[in-house]
């Protein structure tokens, strides 16, 4: 796995936006019957924030977060040199969503903007890319936007996904500074697991057709089409078991730290059962592994910054914390970073009216 260290770069703020429309797990009782309560208990999701209007995209949620963060940080918009958009819910096949957001946010035409097509590990990858670019002298300030509208890609008749995924958009501001604690990254990829978490059709490999959009019965009781998200839960859990604990331990060893030296572990909010398993496997003290998905669901690339905003906002606004951020999932792809963070700017979570159509200009 790739290991790297970044100096003279710090996080200055994090903002998160979610749809105002909320869906309770009880709404699934009409479809799944008694299984709904069991699923909700297992995954630890009571409510999910989901977009209700098809006009609302991940870019709209990220725009809300980024616009608020820029204002809270008092940054001049032309001072942002790098814009990274991490999403698997782009506005279009092309152009890149980052290009659209550069215009909507009124950033400089000298700003480098590009998309990263990653999900669960995407936030860590976004930080890795932006911080290395800043450290190299490619710019002074960067925005990492991470957001997905995963709820739009799942079948409401699939027990594996229907009650799990929520929607969110986030923005993280980074800056090159003269003095900052180093950030250590460790990342990796194993494409042999691609088939276990994917949307099989709708891309160029298998284009949309009337056939691929038909929802069929799988596993005796689940219905989905080839254009819906497929998740093999057993394979995902097995991947997590063999990848995440060594990743955490190796990053600590590289950094010369123990688990007790870390104030909080913020991992991809996959599901409550998996996060509880990791807490026990890693022997983390109670409360050290942040779990913040009960009211939001699994928000893919946005889950780590959303969890920070929801669970650590007050402390990080006032003090510094040593954090380990861990992303893992679709790809297979994984990444972790260890950093000192705070005091930073973190506005309260923004609720976006997901019924009103968003404008396409800043």
Tokens (6 digits) for 119:
């999900």
What percentage of the chain's residues is helix, strand, coil (to nearest 5)?
A: 35, 25, 40
Q: How far apart are CA 328 and CA 15, in angstroms?
A: 22
What strands, in cross-sheet order, belong to the sheet with 183-189? 2-6, 183-189, 333-341, 321-329, 264-267
- Of the CA atoms within 13 Å of residue 258, those in its CB half-sphere come to 3
Concerning whether 337 is annotated as a catalytic residue, the answer is: no
Comparing C-alpha atoms, which of 242, 216, 245 is closest to residue 158? 216
> Judging by DSSP bridges, how do beta strands 167-176 and 141-149 pair with one another?
antiparallel
Q: Which strand (E) or helix (H) includes residue 130?
A: helix 122-135
Concerning whether 55 is annotated as a catalytic residue, the answer is: no
Concerning whether 21 is annotated as a catalytic residue, the answer is: no
Give DSSP secondary structure letters for 237-271: HHHHHHHHHHHHHHHHHHHT--GGG-SEEEE----
Report whether 25 contacts 45 (CB < 8 A). Answer: yes
Report whether 167 contacts 19 (CB < 8 A). Answer: yes
Tokens (6 digits) for 156:
């409401």
Please state at what angle helix 303-318 crosses helix 122-135, rounded to 10 degrees.
60
Given the residues 298, 310, 337, 341, select the one marked as catalytic: 298
Given the residues 120, 222, 337, 341, select the one marked as catalytic: 120
Q: How far apart are CA 148 and CA 170, in angstroms?
A: 9
Give DSSP secondary structure letters for 138-178: S-SEEEEEEEEEGGGGS-TT-TTTTTTB-EEEEEEEEEE-S
Q: How far apart are CA 116 and CA 75, in angstroms?
A: 24
Given the residues 21, 49, 57, 268, select the one marked as catalytic: 268
Report whether 336 contacts 185 (CB < 8 A). Answer: yes
Tokens (6 digits) for 99:
């290009």
Residues involved in catalysis: 120, 268, 298
């Amino acid at each position: 796995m790739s290991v790297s260290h970044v100096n003279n770069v710090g996080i200055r703020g994090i903002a998160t936006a979610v749809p105002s429309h909320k869906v309770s797990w009880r709404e699934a009782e009409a479809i799944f019957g008694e299984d709904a309560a069991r699923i909700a208990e297992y995954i630890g999701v009571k409510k999910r924030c989901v977009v209700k209007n098809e006009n609302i995209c991940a870019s709209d949620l990220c725009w809300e977060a980024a616009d608020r963060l820029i204002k809270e940080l008092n940054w001049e918009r032309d001072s942002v040199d790098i814009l990274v958009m991490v999403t698997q819910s782009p506005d279009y096949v092309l152009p890149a969503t980052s290009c659209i957001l550069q215009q909507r946010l009124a950033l400089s035409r000298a700003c480098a903007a590009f998309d990263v097509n990653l999900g669960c590990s995407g936030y860590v990858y976004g930080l890795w890319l932006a911080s290395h670019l800043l450290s190299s002298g490619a710019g002074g300030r960067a925005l990492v936007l991470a957001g997905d509208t995963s709820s739009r890609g799942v079948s409401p008749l699939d027990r594996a996904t229907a009650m799990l995924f929520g929607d969110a958009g986030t923005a993280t501001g980074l800056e090159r500074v003269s003095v900052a604690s180093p950030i250590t990254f460790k990342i990796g990829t194993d494409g042999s697991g691609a088939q276990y978490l994917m949307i099989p059709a709708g891309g160029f490999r298998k284009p949309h057709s009337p056939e691929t959009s038909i929802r069929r019965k799988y596993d005796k009781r689940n219905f989905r089409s080839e254009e819906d998200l497929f998740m093999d839960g057993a394979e995902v859990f097995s991947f997590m078991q063999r990848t995440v604990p060594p990743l955490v331990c190796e990053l600590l060893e590289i950094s010369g730290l123990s688990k007790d030296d870390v104030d909080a572990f913020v991992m991809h909010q996959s599901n409550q059962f998996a996060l509880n398993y990791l807490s026990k496997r890693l022997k983390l003290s109670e409360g050290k592994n942040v779990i913040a998905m009960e009211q939001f669901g699994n928000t893919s690339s946005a889950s780590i910054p959303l969890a920070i905003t929801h669970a650590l906002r007050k402390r990080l606004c006032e003090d510094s914390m040593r954090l380990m951020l861990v992303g893992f999932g679709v790809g297979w792809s994984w990444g972790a970073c260890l950093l000192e963070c705070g005091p930073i700017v973190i506005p309260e979570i923004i609720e976006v009216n997901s019924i009103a159509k968003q404008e396409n200009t800043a």
